[in-house]
Amino acid sequence: MNCLVRLKAVLFDLHGTLAYVENPVTDTEISDYLFSRGYEVSSQQLRSAWGFVSFIDYPKYGYRSWRSFFSKIFWRLKVKVDKETLGWIVELLESKPYELYPDASEAVVNAKENGFKTAIVTTIAHFQFKKAVKPVRKYLDFIMTGYEARCDKSNPKMYQKILEILNVKPHEAVMIGDSVQLDILLPKRLGINTMLLDREREILESPHADATINDLGEAIEVIKEWNRQT
């Protein structure tokens, strides 16, 4: 981190950083159910179609519910399921919603109240985590998903668009996330400062991130300290 640069924006990853799903539904679980209903959809087929819809279709069409999202998955698989089967899957997925980590709300509020512009940067469809982030929505300047960016998070365009929306330069922003590839290496190539979140305390120090932190509260305090040094 260049202490001569004053930070103006804090970007948060969603999954594994701000929010999580307790005991998430697996492709194997859904595949087993489909076989029990007479639909031959293997877990690998389901995983592939799910990924295609998440990373390619959602950025184009912006689905607003599990029903429309999974209907597209079955369309990709060329499988027509009955309403009861689709309904069971939707109900199962809705029963396992995203939840904020205990340190998430305070960190977002702290960042905003200290004058930083704030945003979420994720490929994940907004409907999947909309309820989870409701407590902090007014403290977020923007929520960038695959649909708003029209691409997945591995595309530099997502970061470039959020910087443009927030009206900040790359070196004036810091990205906080738990993925070295998507939250550290990619934004670093664009000139964005980075923090690697290691909740499990498995990494002493990342050679790629500007800082390695164990919780979001610590992250905001480090960012504030960086600015005090400018």
- Residue 5, pLDDT score: 78
The full set of domain ranges for the chain reads: 9-21+99-228, 27-94
Low-confidence ranges of the chain (pLDDT < 50): none
- Residue 201, pLDDT score: 78
- Residue 50, pLDDT score: 98
Q: Are 61 and 139 in contact (CB under 8 A)?
A: no
Instruction: Give pLDDT tens digits for 161-180.
Output: 999 999 999 999 999 999 99
Q: What is the CATH number that goes with domain 9-21+99-228?
A: 3.40.50.1000
Residue 157 half-sphere exposure, CB side, CA atoms within 13 Å?
Answer: 11
Count of CB atoms situated within 10 Å of the CB of 141? 16
- Residue 68, pLDDT score: 98
Q: What is the largest CA-CA distance in the chain?
A: 64
pTM of the model: 0.95
Count of CB atoms situated within 10 Å of the CB of 218? 16
- Residue 1, pLDDT score: 62
